[in-house]
Amino acid sequence: MGEPRLLQSGVVDVRFGERVKVVQPVNIYGCSIGDDCFIGPFVEIQRDVVVGARCKVQSHAFVCELVTIGDDCFIGHGVMFINDVFAKGGPARGDKSLWRSTTIGSRVSIGSNATILPVSICDDVVVGAGAVVTKDINKPGIYAGNPARLLRAIEGKSP
């Protein structure tokens, strides 16, 4: 029987803003977390991710490389961001040139267990729990389903 190679998780090389709260255990590395953020337990935030100010990232969320999150955002429990779209019919297998980026605007709330593929989401959007966002969202509103669709505009926000 072979012995496994054990790797440590934790907080490594992170640029933190002021008054950030992190509940361990987490695996966050090489990223930037803005002022007044909350990062829940069992979260992974990978290299070069940028999380804006006053964001909450709830437990069991996975934020992969090439993701930028604006200010005042809420990332629910178990939200998964995807950067590999299997462009060649399977995983990129280390070829990061096949990965795609995701940009989340400000004041975006993403419900628990949503999956966010490489897209751009504008400001003032709510993504419902369990939604799968497969295309850019360019109009403020509430989106839900698989694939996510606009349910209605948010009052006071013009599309």
Q: Tens digit of pLDDT for each residue in 138-153?
A: 999 999 999 999 999 9
With 90 as the cut, is the pLDDT of residue 52 above it? yes
Is residue 83 within 8 Å of 48, Cβ to Cβ?
no
Please report whether residue 59 resides in a domain: yes
pLDDT at 154: 85
Tell me the residue range of the domain where 44 lies: 11-84+99-152
Please report whether residue 33 resides in a domain: yes
| Confidence class for position 7, pLDDT limits 50, 70, 90 | confident
pLDDT at 158: 59
Is residue 69 within 8 Å of 63, Cβ to Cβ?
yes
Residues, the chain: 159
pLDDT in tens, 9-25: 899 999 999 999 999 99
Kindly report the CATH number assigned to the domain that includes residue 50. Answer: 2.160.10.10
* Percent of residues, the chain, with pLDDT higher than 70: 97
Identity at 107, one-letter amino acid code: R
Query: Rounded CA gap, 33 and 147, in Å?
Result: 29
What average pLDDT does range 71-90 have in this prediction? 96
Please report whether residue 158 resides in a domain: no
Gap between the terminal Cα atoms of the chain: 60
Least confident range from 39-48, 88-97, 101-110: namely: 88-97
Query: Rounded CA gap, 71 and 56, in Å?
Result: 10
What average pLDDT does range 33-55 have in this prediction? 98
Task: Report helix, strand or coil for 96.
Answer: helix
pTM of the model: 0.94
pLDDT at 29: 97
Please report whether residue 133 resides in a domain: yes
Please report whether residue 6 resides in a domain: no
pLDDT at 9: 84
β-strands 149-152, 141-144 pairing: antiparallel
Residue written as token pair 């975006």: 108
Please report whether residue 1 resides in a domain: no
With 80 as the cut, is the pLDDT of residue 157 above it? no
When divided into structural domains, the chain yields a total of 1
Strand partners, 51: 33, 69
pLDDT, mean over the chain: 96
Using the 8-state DSSP alphabet, how is residue 98 labeled? G
Please report whether residue 141 resides in a domain: yes
Please report whether residue 147 resides in a domain: yes
